[in-house]
Amino acid sequence: MYKVYLVDDDNIILEELENRVPWMENGFEVVGRCTDPRMAIENMSNCLPDVCICDLRMPEMDGNEMIRRSRQKGLTCEFVMLSAYDEYDDVRTFFKQSGYDYILKPINNDEIRMILEKLYVKISAKHPEEGPQPSTENPTFNDLLKYIDEHFTEKLTLEQIADKYGFSKNYVCQLFKKFFDTTFSIYITKKRMIRAQELLTDKTLPVKEIAYDLGYADYHHFYRTFKNYYGYSPKENR
């Protein structure tokens, strides 16, 4: 699991972020949260998160200043900025300081899930987690994978799958890391994207219908996921 630290001057938003986002199934865990950016920097110096998600507009110290001071402290975590504003100067400053991504409020779960998937890949390449290498088969895990293979176009959650096979959510995440060096969420996305390319070869099928058949209730979510995964849109694929 990679570590995430949350910073926002509104405690309600922090609670919503911590409880609503499916962190574990995307390979992350929240290790702390804070409404005071100065205190957050001190806390982060101790827990050394891999990712910090912070608000842009905060009293006394904004998000860009927090990044600057964090870098001075030697923190190398990736920063994802949250903001209710879309101002060019703020965004430009953020990316000049090596910020990773920028999300406008209200927070969209699909958008943050895609960012987490990209972050997981980037952090894994930068300093992969250490752990046991694949060695033996796990029969129950094989059954779990078979179930996913048969139902990946449906709405599957980590909690649902773990309960079905008598595992803890954390153990399921460990198994995906051990045998596939990936997360539960990325594993399912990969299956959907491979199937999407197969379906797109049939030019009589509308792209929106393909998105729905693959379990995406929102066509735009499917479009963004496909383009993020392959580097080109479904229509460009055709």
Cis peptide before 59 (omega within 30 of 0): no
Per-residue pLDDT, 5: 97
Per-residue pLDDT, 136: 46
CATH architecture for segment(s) 136-238: Orthogonal Bundle (1.10)
Contacts 24+ apart (CB under 8 A), 194-203: 195/152, 195/153, 196/222, 196/226, 196/234, 197/230, 197/237, 200/234, 200/237, 200/238, 203/238
Per-residue pLDDT of the chain in tens (238 residues, 90 and over written 9) = 899 999 999 999 999 999 989 899 889 999 999 999 999 999 999 999 999 999 988 888 888 899 999 999 999 899 998 877 665 455 556 555 555 676 777 777 788 888 888 888 888 876 545 444 444 478 999 999 999 999 999 999 999 999 999 999 999 999 998 888 899 999 999 999 999 999 999 889 999 999 999 999 888 889 989 988 888 899 888 7
User: Domain residue spans in the chain?
Assistant: 2-126, 136-238
Protein fold of 2-126: Rossmann fold (3.40.50)
